[in-house]
Amino acid sequence: MNEKIHHGRNIKRFREMMGIKQEALAFELGADWSQKKISLLEQKEEVEEDLLQQVAEILKVPAEAIKNFNEEAVFNIISNTYHNDSKDQSTIIASSVNYQPTFNAIDKLVEALEENKKLYERLLESEREKVELLKKMLDK
């Protein structure tokens, strides 16, 4: 795994993950940049340090992330983390999701309803106080 990390490709990956178009990145880099120039930048294996720093700031990621991102390492982590001996695809998918909520949704709903009830009671009490105050003012 001694192959060189491709800075341009990593810039493209981070840009796409952030949902930023080449035109927008070019605009942020300045007037002398264009979509075509960004496309060429993303093809470069190694990007100059100062330009890499500028791009990293615009993409709001550390420059080191762009320099060191290795897709093969990510795939290795995923493949070593999610494995299943089952031949059934649905079991593989279900085990890779591994969703275990730490709360009961019904309990949360009941809490919300109780909170609403308390709010309505306070509102009703406030309205009663207003009515009493108005009655006292009219009696004077």
pLDDT tens digits for 53-106? Answer: 999 999 998 898 888 887 776 555 545 555 555 555 544 444 455 555 566 778
pLDDT tens digits for 99-119? Answer: 555 667 788 888 899 999 999
On the question of pLDDT at 31 being above 70, the answer is yes
- Counted residue by residue, the chain has a size of 140
Helix, strand or coil for residue 61?
A: coil
Which amino acid is located at 48 in the chain? E
In contact, 26 and 34? CB cutoff 8 Å: yes
Encoded tokens for 133: 């105050």
pLDDT score, position 5: 84
pTM over 0.75: no
Encoded tokens for 110: 């009941």
Question: Residues near 116 by Cβ (< 8 Å), separated by ≥ 6?
Answer: none
